[in-house]
A and B are shown apart, each in its own frame.
Chain A
Amino acid sequence: MKFGQQKRRHRGSSIASTCVVKLLRGIDFEELPLPLTIGTRPAFAWEVTDENTSASHAIKYPHWQRQFEAALVEGDPQSLRQRVDAAESALFLRLQALGESAEGDEERQAISEAMGTLRAIQREKLGYPEWNTK
């Protein structure tokens, strides 16, 4: 798939997405713990796009994959919470943007798995309490 095609596919114009975009206007992202774009090279899920370009790979889920992978590889315990928060924010915002469109099913599944991984990091590395021990 060419990069442009993938980009167009992500530009859903559902009513739900429009509402979320309106709601997000005015949020000062500078005040968030970390910028939503973190320049960490993704470790997996590269997708071959155009062999003639220098950036010959594109990540599969550009809205959240970088942030997620940055959380996975973060070694500094002080920064881990911020990385996890940034990844969680990106995943949540992407879910909202996807809305209820049927075409996002595969990505929703990937988001669900990524969320599960973040939960494990929160529990095992950040000391979050278990919620399902009752």
Chain B
Amino acid sequence: MPAKRILIVDDNAVVRSLVRRLFESQSDFEISGEAENGRDAIDKAEKLKPDLIILDLVMPVMTGLDAAPLLKQLLPDVLIILFTQQEGSEVERLAQAAGIDAVVSKSQVASELFLKAQVLLASLGRQKDRAKFRNAS
């Protein structure tokens, strides 16, 4: 199975480095690129066509919540995880409305992000298999 391509979007270089190292340590993922804000993420996503986007919320130029619907419009199958310091039901509600697939808090250990990515990608794989089966029958 080909490695899943990830786009990391965060205005903070240290956060991007940590997330990059987290996923690069696993053979089933590859980092296709990094972006520093929502607008940059849209440009990079169009070129790189990632399977998964790790998206920060608070960024200059364009927030993660503003970028997410545009990213989904551009790449309907892409999975988006909002990786943010902000917590609470308000963030969850707005994230869901923006088409974001999951929210992971930066106050959790970074391995939670990795586990969430695995679960989401596995679930997407199962959905695609079911769709193939339905189309074939």
Which residues of A come within 8 Å of B, CB atoms? 16, 19-20, 23-24, 26-27, 31-33, 85, 88-89, 92-93, 95-96, 99-100, 108, 111-112, 115, 119, 122, 126-132, 134
Contacts and interface: CB of A to CB of B under 8 A. Distances in A.
A126 B61 CA distance: 10
A27 B21 contact: yes
Contacts of A88: 12, 14-15
**Most chain A beta carbons < 10 A, residue from B61, B62, B65:** B65
A129 B14 contact: no
B85 A115 contact: yes
A129 B18 CA distance: 25
A131 B63 contact: yes
Contacts of A85: 11-14
A104 B94 CA distance: 29
Contacts of B15: 88-89, 92
Nearest to A88: B12
